[in-house]
Chains A and B, each alone.
Chain A
Amino acid sequence: MQTLTKLGYNIAGPVLALIISFAIGGIFIAIIGKDPLAVYSQFFSDTLGNAYGIGQVLFKATPLIFTGLASAICFRAGLFNIGAEGQLIIGAFCIAFVGNVFGILPAIFLLPLCILAGFIGGACWGIIPGLLKATFGAHEVINTIMMNFIAAALVNYFVSNVFFVPATVHTPDIVPAAHLSRLDFFFESFHGAPVNLSLFIAIGAALLLHVYLWKTSLGYELRATGLNLNAARYAGIHVERHMIGTLTLGGGLAGLAGMNFVMGYKHYFELGFSEGAGFIGIAVALLARNNPIGIVLTSIFFGILQYGSLTINTIVPKELANILQAIVILCIIVLSKVIDRHMVRLQKQSVAAEVHA
């Protein structure tokens, strides 16, 4: 009985938060003189009302799962990885490069090679701040931010001068052997939506990370490092190795986010393609309380917001759609706290009633 009520609270909480935050968003829509109901009905029917919309949502969610995981695993180790954006860009560029240059390889070798390239590219951008932290104690926030600038400049240079299609800001196409199939190849109804197999790789990564964190001795050590550095040292944990390893792994995961666009959608690397997925990943991780499975769900939620605000463009200005998105996120964060507190109070009243009875 008790666990059931608790579960009820856990589901009711977020749902209630969602409803209230959309209601608050509705007030804003009304203020600019539009009909909130019309806007929301379009919002929901376009995102969740048909398979195409769902496919678009999942496509937007895929890179966020990777970058969310990249932030979350570092948070768990007590590290702030602000560098997922740079790690993502480098990873994506490496995928595009390998997918083009090693084009003669058959798919069975090329696909894993491309994925590996994405992982290693991102991992290189993670290991550097990791090493700096572990050996010199240099703060990873500053260093991961710097690595973002370096990544952007470097890739900019390559895509404008070395490896590019003239008169565009993108690289040459990768060969078809390096493509990840879209899901409409398997499910006809997704037709036209860019969601592709990298979604499953993302979900797989989340599951693996869950196992790593909670079922392995290394994950145990990682969490110990993040929660109490002194106690971790006392327990004989090589905390420096974990700092380096975790930032490397986080970088690699962020690098994999490039698969979605490069291997699954456009088949080339384009400047500015990420739309800040690296930074949104931080918000995703926080909202999901650094829980890998929660990150998958939260990413889908963000995907709905992102794609939904595109579809209501026809009714409200793009800026408002963006503001709406931000309002909903803020409301959710605040409300989930408020509701938590309220639940505690409810529980207290029930105990009081029992005692007096």
Chain B
Amino acid sequence: MYAVEMQHITKRFGHFTANHQVDFQVHEGEIHALIGENGAGKSTLMRILYGFYTPDAGQIYINGREVKIQKPSDAITLGVGMVHQHFMLIPPLTVTENIILGKEETNRLGILNLPLAAKQLTELSQTYRLHIDPSAKIEQVSIGFQQRIEILKILYRNAQIIILDEPTPILTPQEIDDLFKVLLQLKSEGKTIILITHKLSEVMTISNRITIMRHGKIVGTRETKSTTQTELARLMIGEEIGPPISKRPFIAHKDILIMEQVSAKGDRGVLAVRNVSLNVKEGEIIGIAGVEGNGQSELVQVIAGLRPFQVGEISIGSHSLSPTHGHQALAHIPEDRLRFGLILDFTLQENLILGRQQELRFRHYYFLQDSETRSYSSELIHSFDIRPEELSLPARNFSGGNQQKIVVARELSKNVPLIVASQPTRGLDIRAIDFIHNSLISERNKGKAILLVSSDLGEILKLSDRIAVMYEGEITKVFLTADTDEREIGMYMTGAKKKSA
């Protein structure tokens, strides 16, 4: 008997088949990894299990009993919980209020018993070492913290089957370790866990069994013990990934981005960027390494003109940036694609010109040039492999990875000297990551200046010519990539080593 068994599940959106005759089984008490390319249908399958979508055809069995899951509350009653790819928390409410939402403890008069709930939560968070502050407001807490809340929410509802849709891309390495410890503890208590991820190394460390999806179908299930990353990659994409294209030696002369002693405040009014001076030259990739929350996000927003800065000077090319008004002569892949990078209700085609709508290529006087935009869009869709290739589909309906590809495609196709790429490969599958890495290198080889921010140190080391480490809002060290290693960078990232005064 399986904890979860899905049989012949088919789900279509319009004429597009996201899941085709899917059979999927999970043993009780195992950690089961679900992997596959962007758009393979993983999130769709799990949303069906969670009652977010109802399948067009097929059956679901929980603990051997056939069930009808029409809506999430049905799934919750059956002990199924899900942490979504994009969180679903309500920002102005506190942690406690968010967690009890939908399962409020009230007294006989219908009045909320918040202290009781807070006490239960504190106990839960101690049991699983998920550190949270029950009275904090969601809008004030980090993204890793938000994920812990989502997990607690599920545990609070006593879920036996726990689905996590790509939990790791937004976490720091330390947070990933902590998460995995929690998952192992849950497993030892007999809970069943389904984990979606693109990182094969994670799959190999944590899972018991692995199911691979491709183009809406299941291509196989493997015991983790008896498979390899190479086999998994082949099953996922059907081919091998080649070596990265090589960097052309580039003797850079001209500074493109110049920052002189820039300081800027964060959302909570305290300085988040302190006295940063950094130049990025043409034909150079500078990687910013740092533990998340050390001012990298704010720094990027300042450069992109989305956040005012209080002190210092910034110029891009010969154009100096006003401290309060943004400007647009840069390509910017924002870290938060849903908040900045996309308009979810705009179509794919409309999103592909977001920020470029005033370029003369796309308009004639004030009239949008539909045919030009169309051919430009088709070109990008093709070269970045955005799926489905439907120009009029709203961005909302693309898979997480394909949404990211829309943003990256648009920004990398801009003809501007500076690219600021923040977490450019977050949520992408291995083939797409490889493609984007190659694109960044080839843009660099063409002479563009690139500032890369990533929480993936491997990515930074692979792509950067120089690496700047940010700690508590300051740039504490700049290395030539060739002269350093992961260990040394790590010491600066954690503040164990600081700026030599």
Chain A residues proximal to chain B, CB less than 8 Å? 2, 215-218, 220-221, 223-224, 227-228, 230-237, 348, 351-352, 355-356
Contact = CB atoms under 8 A, between A and B. Distances in A.
B344 A228 contact: yes
18 contacts: A215-B368, A217-B367, A220-B350, A227-B346, A228-B342, A230-B339, A230-B340, A231-B339, A231-B342, A231-B354, A236-B326, A236-B328, A237-B357, A348-B56, A352-B10, A355-B8, A355-B10, A355-B57
B89 interface: no
Contact of B327 (A223, A232, A236, A356): A236
Q: Which 5 A-B pairs have the closest CB atoms?
A: A235-B355, A236-B328, A351-B56, A355-B57, A234-B340
Nearest to B340: A234
B341 interface: yes
Given A234-B341, A236-B328, A216 B366 contact: yes
Nearest to B353: A220
**Residues of A contacting B: mostly:** helix
B268 interface: no
Contacts of B10: 351-352, 355
B389 interface: no
Contacts of B340: 230-231, 234
Nearest to A348: B56
Nearest to A355: B57
Interface string B310-330: 000000000000000011100
A18 B380 CA distance: 45
Contact of A216 (B306, B354, B368): B368
Contacts of A235: 354-355, 357
**Residues of B contacting A: mostly:** loop
B358 A234 contact: no
Contacts of B14: 2
A220 B327 contact: no
Contacts of B21: 355
B343 A231 contact: yes
Contacts of A230: 339-340
Interface in B332-347: 332, 334, 339-346
B326 A233 contact: yes
Given A234-B332, A236-B326, A355-B10, A217 B343 contact: no
B12 interface: yes
B56 A355 contact: yes
Contacts of A223: 346
Given A227-B345, A236-B327, A348-B54, A217 B12 contact: no
Contact of A234 (B304, B344, B353): B304
A352 B9 CA distance: 10
Contacts of A231: 339-343, 354
A239 to B, nearest CB: 11
Contacts of A220: 350, 353, 357, 368
B92 to A, nearest CB: 17
Contacts of A233: 306, 326
B6 to A, nearest CB: 14
B368 A352 contact: no
A3 to B, nearest CB: 10
B42 to A, nearest CB: 20
A355 B304 CA distance: 50
B15 interface: yes
B363 interface: yes
Interface in B1-56: 8, 10, 12, 14-15, 21, 54, 56
Nearest to B10: A355
Given A235-B354, A236-B327, A351-B57, A217 B368 contact: yes
A227 B10 CA distance: 32
Nearest to A223: B346
A228 B343 contact: yes
